[in-house]
Amino acid sequence: MLGYGAVLVLVALGGTIAVVFVGLSRYLGPRNANAAKLTTYECGVEPVKTARERFPVRFYLVAMLFIVFDIEAVFLYPWALLFRELGLFGLIEMAVFLMVLVVGLIYAWRKGALEWE
């Protein structure tokens, strides 16, 4: 338990420094906001529509599929590190896991979830 005390002190010190710096910047920083500074600016493109614009459902579907297959890569890395220790059982389990993901990918592909119009 003694080792966690140092971590707790470090987290408290970091949090205190962050709060102090944000407070100092709020009170010491310049406050001359104008209309040009308050407009939305992203990637060098001026906004042409409202931020409340609706996005197609396909956008969210592709984003969810990306997250699912990105998490697959997270599971593959520790398995690859312990491949020799897991032996044949680990290989079979990973094959089943990848097969489920491939079936899901084929299903999404056939349903047209990956088509971008």
Per-residue pLDDT of 38-83, as tens digits, reads 776 666 667 677 767 777 777 888 888 888 888 888 888 888 999 8
**Residue 106 pLDDT grade (very low, low, confident, very high; cuts 50, 70, 90):** very high
Superfamily of domain 2-110, CATH level 4: NADH:ubiquinone/plastoquinone oxidoreductase, chain 3 (1.20.58.1610)
- With a threshold of 0.75, does the pTM exceed it? no
53 near 104, Cβ under 8 Å?
Answer: no
Q: Which residue matches tokens 């990848």?
A: 98
Please state, rounded to an integer, the average pLDDT across all residues of the chain: 85
List the beta bridge partners of residue 42: 45
Give the model's pLDDT for residue 22: 95
